[in-house]
Chain A
Amino acid sequence: MKPRDIPALLYVALAVIFIFLPVVVLVQFSFQDGLAPVPPFKGFSLRWYDKMFADRKLMEALGNSVLVGGLSSLIATALGFLAAFKLARRPGRGAPQMQFLLMAPITVSYIIIALGLLIVFNGLGFGKSLLAVGVGHVVINLPLCFAVIYSQMGEHQANVERAALDLGASEFKALIYVTVPMLWPALLAAFFIAFTLSWDEFVIAQLLSKFDVTLPVVIFSLLRTGLNPVTNAVGTFVFAVSIGLVVLVELLLARRPRDG
Chain B
Amino acid sequence: MAESVVSLRGVSKSYEGATAVSQVDLDIAAGEFVVLLGPSGSGKTTVLSMIGGFTAPTTGQLFIDGADVTETPPAQRPTATVFQDYALFPHMSVRSNVGFGLAMRKVPRAERSRRADEVLRLVGLEGFGSRGIHQLSGGQRQRVALARAIAVEPKVLLLDEPLGALDLSLRRQMQDELVRIQKSVGTTFVHVTHDQEEAMSIADRIVVMNKGCIEDMGPPSRIYLRPATLFAATFMGESNILAGEAVEAAGECTWIKTALGTLPVPGRAAMGEAVKVLARPEHVHVDIGADVGAIAFGQGTVTEAMFQGTHLRLRLNAGPQGAVPITARAAADQSVTVGDSLPLSVRSQNLVLLRG
Q: Chain A: residues with CB nearer than 8 A to chain B?
A: 156, 159-160, 162-170, 173, 177-178, 181-182, 184, 258-260
Contacts and interface: CB of A to CB of B under 8 A. Distances in A.
Contact of A166 (B79, B88, B89, B90): B79
Contact of A260 (B76, B104, B133, B148): B133
Contacts of B63: none
A260 B136 contact: yes
Contacts of A169: 75, 100, 104
B54 interface: yes
Interface in B76-90: 76, 79-81, 83, 85-90
Residue of A156, A164, A165, A260 with most partner-chain B CB within 10 A? A260
Nearest to A181: B91
A101 B240 CA distance: 61
B134 A166 contact: no
B74 A184 contact: no
A161 to B, nearest CB: 8
B105 A184 contact: no
B73 A165 contact: yes
Contacts of B88: 160, 163, 260
B87 A168 contact: no
Interface of B: 52-54, 73-76, 79-81, 83, 85-92, 100-101, 104-105, 133-134, 136, 141, 148-149, 152
A164 B85 contact: no
B90 A182 contact: yes
A156 B87 CA distance: 7
A178 B74 contact: no
A182 B87 CA distance: 12
A164 B80 contact: no
Contacts of B54: 162, 166
Contacts of A156: 85, 87
Contacts of B74: 162, 165-166
A217 to B, nearest CB: 40
B64 to A, nearest CB: 14
A167 B148 contact: yes
A160 B81 CA distance: 11
A167 B83 contact: no
Contacts of B86: 260
Nearest to A258: B134
